[in-house]
A = this chain, B = another copy of it.
Amino acid sequence: MIIAEQVADVRRAVRDARRRDTTIGCVPTMGALHAGHESLIEACRAECNFTAVTIFVNPTQFGPGEDFDRYPRPLEEDLARCRRAGVDLVFVPAVETLYPAAFSTYVDVEPLSRVLEGASRPGHFRGVATVVLKLLNIVEPDRAYFGRKDFQQQLLVRKMCRELDLAVEIRTCPTVREPDGLALSSRNRYLNPGERQTALALYRSLQLAQGRLQDGERDAPAIASDMRQFLETAGARPDYAIIADPESLDELTAPRQNMVALVAARVGRTRLIDNLPITLESRA
């Protein structure tokens, strides 16, 4: 497994691989790898014969007062996990490598970057779009893999790649959950045992929405309001909970065949997100 800190080393390794007519896959991560990331690596290895993982805690996607400084960085553990998973190359750039002095080029993907996570975390998606574009330009993969857990992020990355004409296919892989339903997240390690229990309310609120929609209930905003109520009762502080169009993320007033329920809430000091695609059976 190649461990590269410099852009030129990544380019060299990828170009060597490409000369062998290889399909290159990339899994961008912020490290603190868990089984969710492993499922992305697995999907990548199934479709590509060269798998590059990037590990970079990207400062430009964290707002002031967010957890950039305390975000977990268990590098040795992450590298061991990549090695076990059969990764070919890990790119672990320093912050100054990706953001040299006077850096000031940014990508905006409107209007997706302004709603939900973007409304709660101003500048977040500008940072995400910019770093993902940089990483894709460095690795130049044929395919890149993102988790559905960050639903808005994968939509934004898809839109950016399509609208900037990047020659990369974006793959979105299902959310990986704990046995009790909690979506895997590097931030789950911030939770104490009581908070860990409370955090389950996010997934349960999504299931509540799914159940009621599949039971034929028509008032989507009322269901969303009950999701928020459910979260509050469980001791979480909801940031948003909505039933939305899975492409535009516009809130739905009436159910459609394909929807997504999205939720963000604080549990203690930790902000968590989750979502659930919801499909209604078509009725004759």
A interface residues (Cβ-Cβ under 8 A, vs B): 7, 11, 98, 100, 103-111, 129-130, 133-134, 137-138, 140, 159-160, 163-167
A165 to chain B, nearest CB (A): 4
B110 x A163 contact (CB < 8 A):
no
Q: How many copies does the complex hold?
A: 2
Say whether A105 contacts B107, CB under 8 Å: yes
Residues from chain B with a CB closer than 8 A to the CB of A160 are 105
When distances are taken between beta carbons in the complex, the residues of chain B under 8 Å from A133 are: 164
A11 to chain B, nearest CB (A): 7
Q: Chain B: which residue is nearest A135 at the CB level?
A: B165
12 additional contacts, CB 8 Å, given A134-B164, A137-B167, A140-B167? A11-B167, A98-B165, A100-B163, A104-B159, A105-B108, A105-B109, A105-B159, A105-B163, A133-B164, A134-B163, A137-B164, A137-B165
Chain B residues with CB below 8 A from A110, complex form: 104-106
- Bound: A231/B11 CA distance, A: 50
Of B103, B108, B111, B129, the residue contacting A163 (CB under 8 A) is B103
In the assembled complex, how far is the CB of residue A68 from the closest CB belonging to chain B, in whole angstroms? 20
Contact between B104 and A163 (Cβ–Cβ < 8 Å)?
Answer: yes
Q: Determine the residue in chain B with the shortest Cβ distance to A138.
A: B165
> Cα distance A103–B164 when bound, in Å?
10
Contact B108 A106 (CB under 8 A): yes
Per the bound structure, the CA–CA distance linking A206 and B169 in Å amounts to 49
Residue of B nearest to A160 (CB): B105
CA–CA, A113 and B245, complex, Å: 35
Residues of chain B contacted by A138 (CB below 8 angstroms): 165
Q: How far is the CB of A105 from chain B (nearest CB, A)?
A: 4
Report chain B residues within 8 Å CB of A107.
Answer: 105-108, 164
Q: Which residue of B lies closest to A159 (CB)?
A: B105
Which residue among A104, A134, A160 has the maximum number of chain B CB atoms within 10 Å of its CB? A104
A112 to chain B, nearest CB (A): 8
Chain B residues with Cβ below 8 Å from A11 are 167
CA distance A26 to B172 in the complex (A): 33
User: Considering the complex of A and B, which 7 residue pairs feature the smallest CB-CB distances, nearest first?
Assistant: A105-B163, A104-B110, A137-B165, A105-B109, A134-B165, A138-B165, A105-B160
Which residues of the other chain, B, contact A100 by a CB distance below 8 angstroms? 163
* Residues in B whose Cβ lies below 8 Å from that of A164: 105, 107, 130, 133-134, 137
- In the assembled complex, the Cα of A138 lies from the Cα of B166 at a distance in Å of 7
A7 to B129, CA, bound (A): 22
Q: Which residue of B lies closest to A110 (CB)?
A: B104
**Residue on B with the closest CB to A109?**
B105
